[in-house]
Amino acid sequence: MRCVIPNRTLFGAAFAASAVFMGLSSAHADFALSERYNDADGDLVADVPEDESQWLDPDTLVFAYTPVEDPAVYAEVWAGFLEHMEEVTGKEVQFFPVQSNAAQIEAMRAGRLHVAGFNTGSNPLAVACAGFRPFAMMAAEDGSFGYEMEIITYPGSEVREVEDIRGRTLTHTSETSNSGFKAPTALMASEFGMTSGEDYEVDFSGKHDNSVLGVANEDYEVATVANSVKNRMIDRGVIEADQVEVLYQSDTFPTTGYGTVYNLAPELQEAIQEAFFSFDWEGSALAEEFGRNGEEQFIPISFKEHWAVIRQIDEANGVEYDCN
């Protein structure tokens, strides 16, 4: 299983950026699931198998949050929520620290991961190749949600504006990341006339935390990150706000999507959804951590609707999913 990202053309990248950064809309980008899944209802996610013998009903549910620099911190952040899930589902729930997006997707595809939060850019790959069924997202009290992609550097850097990236190295997070790779690649071509690999070189840090720390410590000159991650790191004191400077900020994208693997027993999937939507955020570790971004509840979402703009970016960047 791999995400195939062929050479991007200026035309394709310009299309993505016009759709995303100028607020234009369209139908969903061309998107297809792996042949191992069915989608009879056309909602772009894998159907629950009709054959009950294919259903999973494990004694212990395994949950994973999107890869972060220090998984131990987030194991504590999610502990109270996972206890709530245990009460609602009647199952034991284990936190599974993942080191990469690829490892997280492969774990779900192999049946070792049952409930997960996949980052914005990984959602289409997880849906297409791992049978991921997203149903929730964090949001503010008024229902608003999302984060922005930022291009950041450090004070005193020779990169004072985006145009200065020409001829230099731009650090991304991973090829499956929306704000860490896909969206800025489209943006750089359409708005600034620079094509990845031709007008500037790229490297990858692996995670948003790594990129933020790398810029703050002047190991990376300029990087693309999700500002939600950067802001939480500042609030926790991992870096100081004056260690980084923002060169560019995008429009708002959907944030991490939460869901289940497609072949969990239907009643169990319903119980897991109930656990998300009945969780009391007040005074919780989730509220303390994610409230830094103004998030204080889970809201229902649809992959077909809420990830349409991300599928547009994938389509325009020439992304294809090889799920074999």
CA–CA dist 61, 57 (Å, integer): 9
CA–CA dist 179, 248 (Å, integer): 12
Give pLDDT, residue 131: 98
Tokens of 151: 């291009």
Please state, in angstroms and as integers, the Cα–Cα distance from residue 318 to each residue in 123, 288, 321, following that order.
17, 39, 10
Closest CA to 10 of 267, 189, 219: 189
Q: Which amino acid, one-letter code, is at 180? A: G
Supply the Cα-derived Rg of the chain in whole angstroms.
19
Non-local (6+) Cβ contacts of 80 within 8 A are: 284, 285, 286
Q: Taking 50 as the threshold, does the pLDDT of residue 9 lie above it?
A: no
Give pLDDT, residue 190: 82
- If pLDDT is split at 50, 70 and 90, which confidence band does 324 have? low
Q: Taking 90 as the threshold, does the pLDDT of residue 21 lie above it?
A: no
Give pLDDT, residue 314: 83
To 10 degrees, the CA torsion angle through 205, 170, 119, 321? -100
Give pLDDT, residue 75: 93
Please compute the mean of the pLDDT values over residues 42-65 and round it to a whole number. 97
Furthest-apart CA atoms within the chain: distance in Å? 62
Q: Which of 26-30, 300-304, 319-323 has the highest mean pLDDT?
A: 300-304
Give pLDDT, residue 67: 84
CATH of domain 148-253: 3.40.190.10
Give pLDDT, residue 13: 35
Q: Taking 70 as the threshold, does the pLDDT of residue 248 lie above it?
A: yes
Q: Which residue has the tokens 């989730």?
A: 286
Give strand pairing partners of 204.
172
Residue ranges per domain, the chain? 52-144+254-322, 148-253
Please compute the mean of the pLDDT values over residues 223-231 and round it to a whole number. 94
Tokens of 14: 């310009």
Give the residue, 292 or 233, on which the prediction is more confident.
233
- If pLDDT is split at 50, 70 and 90, which confidence band does 5 have? very low
Closest CA to 188 of 210, 208, 168: 168
Burial 125-155 (b: 16+ CB within 10 A, else e): bbbbbbbbbbbbbbbeeeeebbbbbbbbbbe
Please compute the mean of the pLDDT values over residues 51-65 and round it to a whole number. 97
What are the backbone angles phi and psi of residue 275, rounded to the nearest 5°?
Answer: -60, -40
Domains 52-144+254-322 and 148-253 share a fold: yes
Please compute the mean of the pLDDT values over residues 224-246 and round it to a whole number. 95
Q: Taking 90 as the threshold, does the pLDDT of residue 116 lie above it?
A: yes
Over residues 154-193, the pLDDT tens digits come to 999 999 999 999 999 999 999 888 899 988 998 898 889 9
Give the mean pLDDT of the chain: 88
CA–CA dist 14, 114 (Å, integer): 37
CA–CA dist 221, 240 (Å, integer): 17
User: For the ranges 2-16, 150-164, 205-219, which has the lowest average pLDDT?
Assistant: 2-16
**Domain 52-144+254-322 CATH (choose: 3.30.1490.20, 1.10.600.10, 3.40.190.10, 1.10.1370.40):** 3.40.190.10
Give pLDDT, residue 106: 95
